Amino acid sequence: MTILNPTLACADPLHLAREIDDVVAGGARMLHVDVMDGHYVPNLCLSFDQAAAIKRYRPDIPMDIHLMADRPFDWLGELERVHPEMASFHLDATPFALRMVKKIQALGIQAGVVLNPSQPVSLLDEVIDQVDYVLLMGVEPGFSGQRFFEQTYRRLAELDRLRKQRQLSFRILVDGGIDFENGPRCAALGADILVGGAFVCFGQPDGIEASARRFVQRLESTEPTAERKAQ
């Protein structure tokens, strides 16, 4: 079943602990932490110190760190310190992607690579059989609240098809613009994990716990598309 992985970039920093508890109570099974360097994307978000504090507060919930940084190798020491269950970096942030994957895995962390909306799935050819997961951006990285790009469906279906053809076991995450309509459709096309925020759990009128539960229930009732069943 596709699971909800809420991005804490959309949570209220003044009530972060409470909102983490609320979204977990609503059925979230992971926590997504965006760490930005202000260079790869023109923004700053959560820090590794905050990630470490979140990890201490809820060590029972797997953490997924999404590293938006120009020099991902520079942050390996911080990844080792925080030790999330999963960590991903952008494929175009380093010419040594495979080496970065191996470095993350050597720390005992599942390694993922991130593809931006303008990057074709074919760019993954040299690393696809080594990664633990692929994160597909449904928006341009850097800012929450953007609307989902429709071409993400095609890219997701292509990636799921590639996974089946090569008999690989990497998971597929979709991040950016996820809402109550496109989220279930992504699940039906093969997404294993959906990174949701402003349109799923942190910006809904019925509150964080109730809206997260509604979204999880939608995912639980989602059936694979005919296209996916035929593969």
Pick the catalytic residue: 64, 160, 175, 192? 175
Catalytic (active site) residue 64 = no
Pairing of strands 133-137, 3-4: unpaired
Please count the residues of the chain: 231
Contact 226, 34 (CB under 8 A): no
How many other C-beta atoms can be found within 10 angstroms of the C-beta atom of residue 162? Answer: 17
Catalytic (active site) residue 175 = yes
Query: Distances from the Cα of 95 to the Cαs of 101, 128, 199, in angstroms?
Result: 12, 15, 34
Q: Tell how far CA 122 is from the center of its chain.
A: 20
Pick the catalytic residue: 34, 37, 160, 179? 34
Question: What are the residues facing 79 on neighbouring strands?
Answer: none
Helix, strand, coil in percent for the chain, rounding step 5: 40, 15, 40
Which residues have a catalytic role annotated?
34, 175
